Amino acid sequence: MAILAEIKRLYLGDNMPWIVGFSGGKDSTTVLQMLFYALSTLPKKKLSKEVHVLCNDTLVENPAISKYVDEQLQKIKKAGKGELFKRKPELFQVVKVKPKLEDTFWVNLIGKGYPSPNRWFRWCTERMKINPTSHYILNTVNKNGKAIIVLGTRKAESANRAASMNNYSDGNNLRKHTLPNAFVYAPIEELSNNEVWAYLIQAPNPWGSNNRNLLALYGSACAGGECPFVIETGTQSCVKSRFGCWVCTVVDRDKSMENFIDNGEIWMKELLNFRNWLYDIRQQTNQYVPKRLGSNGVKFGSFLLKTRWEILNKLLNMQKSLARELITADELGYIQELLVKESEGKVKQGLKKFVFELPNGKRVATISDFNILLTFRKRLGPLHLKQAKLVGSRTISSNYSLSTRVMYYMV
Ligand code: SF4
């Protein structure tokens, strides 16, 4: 097979370590499987450069997918170190990277009050996917001078993807990555969806798994795409995938989770209801905006403190009732610290209107249950409040109690 010959040629062509992005989906499984096949035909002594299998865990992965991926990683590690790289097992690494504590979904949503992500404010992908993998790639480049990132991206995924792959191609199978001294190799870029499945079903899985289980998983989730291994902003958006985070509110409906439930994973219903609630409370239509403010250009900022406590309590209750870890102890500790700190500015009952004067002399009014100036964010949408002065505050009507998010407008 031409791709296997190419993999062998490129592997032997230099001493740059390979970092294989593995999400557990069909494309990255195909690439890793081909790599196992190609390298296993080389004399063992020629396997002298490092191969890192890199997986990214957002900490809010769909639990069914996460379980499957963890099982795969264990098998890959065993087969890679114990058979393929038997002579020098230290050259074969299986690594799972996670977002930094301050970048996790719950810390940002509850601890910092970022509204649930949507198409226009998708703060999660960079923090939870791109940064952890970039950090690992940069470390590998720093140790070795250069590195090649091997991905399962394919032109058939979308017209945009094809265009960006064509743009970057240097005619030598490698394209320059946005990170310095990192290159991207996409061995299956020309394969179609059907060719990928045909290969997976026909060629036995080299680390002892059964690719029919993967096919069944796709069947349970839906006929949609997989969550690609996201390493840069140009990579196909994980939004199109239904193998992404179970909390994802960027899509209107999580059809993957709905399908899992339809296929017997009834316990996921609680997760789905929670996700749908997170989706609803970020919608502006759920806010109570008094008519007289309607013409004032009211905008919405972070979640109110009361909303953030409510999210946390619901999450903890669900974690207890499902007996599954949904938030880590480290996240919980850090979030509680942030909430308590911010509560110093909390209005005990109801909401309060704060008026701030910005350095340019303009004034902004906020309706919130904490004093924005006492938070570390010091931001309201596009407004920077760093040097703002509090010029007035008063408690306002309880009619605003339907609000879930901070409202603000220029006065
Ligand atoms: S799947 Fe959704 S929540 Fe997860 S990183 Fe992608 S956009 Fe964000």
Signed CA dihedral, 323, 327, 332, 336: sign only: negative
Nearest CA residue ID for atom 4, ligand 1: 245
**Best residue among 66, 116, 128 to mutate for probing ligand 1, ranked by most atoms within 8 Å of CB:** 128
User: Domain residues of the chain, as ranges?
Assistant: 2-240, 297-410
Q: Which residue has the tokens 């999580």?
A: 254
Residue 258 φ/ψ, nearest 5 degrees? -60, -40
Q: What are the Cα distances from residue 50, in Å, to 17, 37, 64, 178?
A: 5, 16, 31, 22
The alpha carbon of 403 and the centre of ligand 1 are apart by a number of angstroms equal to 25
Q: Which residue has the tokens 């209750």?
A: 317
Query: Is 244's C-beta closer than 6 angstroms to any atom of ligand 1?
Result: yes
**C-alpha angle 135/183/66, rounded to 5°?**
50
pLDDT (0 to 100) of residue 224? 44
> Contact at 8 Å (CB) between 390 and 355?
yes
Q: What is the dihedral of CA 180, 15, 126, 161, to 10 degrees?
A: 90
Distance CA 375, CA 353 (A): 16
Q: Which residue has the tokens 């032109």?
A: 155
Query: Is 4's C-beta closer than 6 angstroms to any atom of ligand 1?
Result: no
Q: Which of 76, 72, 61, 98 is nearest to 221 (CA)?
A: 61
Distance CA 18, CA 40 (A): 16
The alpha carbon of 204 and the centre of ligand 1 are apart by a number of angstroms equal to 32
pLDDT (0 to 100) of residue 124? 96
Q: How many CB atoms lie within 10 A of CB 247?
A: 24
Nearest CA residue ID for atom 6, ligand 1: 238
DSSP-derived pairing of the beta strands 182-185 and 174-176: antiparallel
Residue 72, amino acid: Q
**Best residue among 23, 56, 58 to mutate for probing ligand 1, ranked by most atoms within 8 Å of CB:** 58
The alpha carbon of 245 and the centre of ligand 1 are apart by a number of angstroms equal to 6
Q: Which residue has the tokens 């179970």?
A: 246
Model confidence over 189-234: pLDDT tens digits?
Answer: 999 999 999 999 999 999 999 999 999 888 876 544 444 455 555 5
Query: Is 58's C-beta closer than 6 angstroms to any atom of ligand 1?
Result: yes
Model confidence over 284-336: pLDDT tens digits?
Answer: 777 788 777 777 789 999 999 999 999 999 999 999 999 999 999 999 999 99
Q: Which residue has the tokens 């970039």?
A: 134
> Contact at 8 Å (CB) between 24 and 33?
no
Q: Which residue has the tokens 């209005």?
A: 347
Query: Is 122's C-beta closer than 6 angstroms to any atom of ligand 1?
Result: yes
Q: What are the Cα distances from residue 2, in Å, to 9, 27, 170, 173, 181?
A: 11, 17, 19, 13, 27
Mapped onto helix, strand or coil, the DSSP state of residue 324 is: coil
Q: Which of 277, 122, 385, 359 is nearest to 368 (CA)?
A: 385
C-alpha radius of gyration, the chain, whole number: 24
Nearest CA residue ID for atom 5, ligand 1: 125
Distance CA 247, CA 239 (A): 12
The alpha carbon of 61 and the centre of ligand 1 are apart by a number of angstroms equal to 9
Q: What are the Cα distances from residue 358, in Å, to 36, 250, 393?
A: 60, 32, 15
Distance CA 248, CA 278 (A): 9
Query: Is 302's C-beta closer than 6 angstroms to any atom of ligand 1?
Result: no
Domain 2-240 classification at class level: alpha beta
The alpha carbon of 229 and the centre of ligand 1 are apart by a number of angstroms equal to 12
pLDDT in tens, the chain (411 residues): 799 999 999 999 999 999 999 999 999 999 999 999 999 999 999 999 999 999 999 999 999 899 999 999 999 999 999 999 999 999 999 999 999 999 999 999 999 999 999 999 999 999 999 999 999 999 999 999 999 999 999 987 766 666 665 555 555 688 899 899 999 999 999 999 999 999 999 999 999 999 999 998 888 765 444 444 555 555 545 545 556 899 999 999 988 899 889 889 999 999 999 999 999 999 877 778 877 777 778 999 999 999 999 999 999 999 999 999 999 999 999 999 999 888 876 666 678 899 999 999 999 999 998 888 888 778 888 899 889 999 999 988 777 778 899 999 998
The alpha carbon of 137 and the centre of ligand 1 are apart by a number of angstroms equal to 21
> Contact at 8 Å (CB) between 29 and 226?
no
> Of all helices (H) and strands (E), which one includes residue 200?
helix 193-202
